[in-house]
Amino acid sequence: MRQVHRLVMRMGKSRFPVLILGETGTGKEVVARAVHNVESRGPFVVVDCSSLAGPLIESELFGYAKGAFTGAHNQKLGLLDAANGGTAFFDEIGELPLEMQMKLLRVLQEKEYRAVGALSQRSSNFRVIAATNRDLAVEVREKRFREDLYYRLNVMRLRLPPLRERREDIPTLVLHFIQRYGNDHQVPDETMAALQSYDWPGNVRELEHTVQQMVAMNSGPWLPTTALSSTITHFESRMNGSTAAAASSSGFPSSAQSIMTLAEIEKRAILQTLEYTKGDRTVAAGLLGIGRTTLYRKLKEYGV
Ligand SMILES: Nc1ncnc2c1ncn2[C@@H]1O[C@H](COP(=O)(O)OP(=O)(O)OP(=O)(O)O)[C@@H](O)[C@H]1O
Ligand SMILES: [Mg+2]
């Protein structure tokens, strides 16, 4: 993360496009804002590419002219207009539909676009930061992402490591979140050890939610391992023999015990389905309603 920090400082001082890669919850948006804040010029506008679907995409991005369609009583500025002088953060860029990729490429090349229903071109001067949890090189190879747009965006690249590859950061993050959400809560060594040995498929976001849950359920000051979600303690006991096995039968209310993050639920669903199909991934993907490549990607993310 020190290296990430150094890169952020260097990237923040230039105006070249930045591409941020990393699993879900690793802090891509946090880093994008940090890059922007180094010089903090102008607005930071988030363009959520995963929600940019359907016929509204263009008017969201480029705005529309008065009278462009029924109900367009006034002209409306788009996200790109709003980013003028600052940064446009294209979040989940890997989700952008192919035809929009072409339009975005044109905008990035010419810095000019036309609002829906407008006759003249508009221009906006913004810095480009894009992020995705997909492997864009693979997306390009499989023709789901335009190669020319990839090269446009991939000028400076930053890869955020998953939390399981930087476990030494976990105590610092835990204390940071306790300061934010807790109330003089203290973390005993064995609880910290359990938090450090868990693999965190949802990365920092999952850790943050776990700390939130732990402090919400405990008046403090100590946060015993029994305050951990059962997924983490089960994981712990599998890793370390029996240390935390008792935790799951500790009389913690079952409703609290059954709280899981979406990442945990997803991982469980996948592993259980694979067990059911005796490891047949094609059948498992079908049962889960996802593509086979998505299943492979997720298994890789979980290190399975
Ligand atoms: N280094 C950090 N210090 C403190 N909080 C962090 C850090 N990294 C991430 N977080 C927190 O973790 C959560 C997830 O971060 P963020 O939204 O940036 O992840 P992301 O990579 O964009 O995830 P996704 O791919 O799911 O959108 C946020 O609540 C953020 O505040
Ligand atoms: Mg994000």
Average pLDDT over the chain, rounded to an integer: 87
Residues 37-90 have pLDDT tens digits of: 999 889 999 999 988 766 778 888 999 988 888 888 888 899 999 999 999 999
CA distances in angstroms from 36 to 21, 90, 171, 198, listed in the order given: 16, 13, 27, 32
Residues 10-29 have pLDDT tens digits of: 999 999 999 999 999 999 99
DSSP element (H, E) containing 132: strand 127-132
The length of the chain, given as a count of residues: 304
Q: Which amino acid is at 107?
A: V
Q: What is the CATH number of the domain that holds 14?
A: 3.40.50.300
Separation of alpha carbons 162 and 301, rounded Å: 9
Question: Based on the domain organization, do 237 and 194 belong to the same domain?
Answer: yes
Question: Based on the domain organization, do 88 and 213 belong to the same domain?
Answer: no
Question: Based on the domain organization, do 148 and 270 belong to the same domain?
Answer: no
Q: Whose CA is nearest to atom 18 of ligand 1?
A: 27
Q: What is the CATH number of the domain that holds 254?
A: 1.10.8.60
pLDDT on residue 239: 61
Question: Based on the domain organization, do 78 and 203 belong to the same domain?
Answer: no
Banded model confidence at residue 253, pLDDT cuts 50, 70, 90 = very low
Q: Residues lining ligand 1, judged by CB closer than 6 Å?
A: 22, 24-30, 133, 176, 204-205, 208
Question: Based on the domain organization, do 134 and 31 belong to the same domain?
Answer: yes
> Would you say residue 208 has pLDDT above 90?
yes
- The stretch 82-110 carries a mean pLDDT of 93
Residue 200's contacts (CB-CB under 8 Å, 6 or more residues apart) are: 162, 163, 164, 206, 207
Residues around the ion ligand 2 (C-beta < 5 A): 29
Question: Based on the domain organization, do 6 and 17 belong to the same domain?
Answer: yes
pLDDT on residue 245: 39
> Would you say residue 105 has pLDDT above 80?
yes
267 lies in which domain range? 263-301
Separation of alpha carbons 294 and 284, rounded Å: 11
Q: Which of 169, 205, 208, 298 to mutate to test the pocket of ligand 1 (most atoms within 8 A of CB)?
A: 205
Which ligand does the CA of 204 lie closest to? 1
Question: Based on the domain organization, do 229 and 194 belong to the same domain?
Answer: yes
Question: Based on the domain organization, do 19 and 140 belong to the same domain?
Answer: yes
Separation of alpha carbons 271 and 76, rounded Å: 47
> Would you say residue 160 has pLDDT above 90?
yes
Question: Based on the domain organization, do 8 and 132 belong to the same domain?
Answer: yes
- The stretch 94-119 carries a mean pLDDT of 90
pLDDT on residue 147: 97
Total number of domains in the chain: 3
Separation of alpha carbons 160 and 272, rounded Å: 29
Distance 25 CA to ligand 1 centre (A): 5
- Residue showing tokens 């929009």: 100
Among residues 100, 129, 161, the one where a domain terminates is: 161
Q: What is the CATH number of the domain that holds 294?
A: 1.10.10.60
Question: Based on the domain organization, do 228 and 128 belong to the same domain?
Answer: no
Q: Of 210, 198, 213, 214, which Cα lies nearest the Cα of 162?
A: 198
Q: Name residue 107's beta-bridge partners.
A: none
Banded model confidence at residue 258, pLDDT cuts 50, 70, 90 = low
Distance 30 CA to ligand 1 centre (A): 6
Tokens linked to 23 = 């699993």
DSSP 8-state secondary structure symbol assigned to residue 127: E
Of 151 and 249, the structure prediction assigns the larger pLDDT to 151
Question: Based on the domain organization, do 94 and 186 belong to the same domain?
Answer: no
Question: Based on the domain organization, do 82 and 102 belong to the same domain?
Answer: yes
Among residues 161, 179, 210, the one where a domain terminates is: 161
Q: Which amino acid is at 200?
A: W
The atom of ligand 1 lying closest to the CA of 27 is: 18
pLDDT on residue 248: 42
156-159 vs 18-21, strand pairing mode: parallel
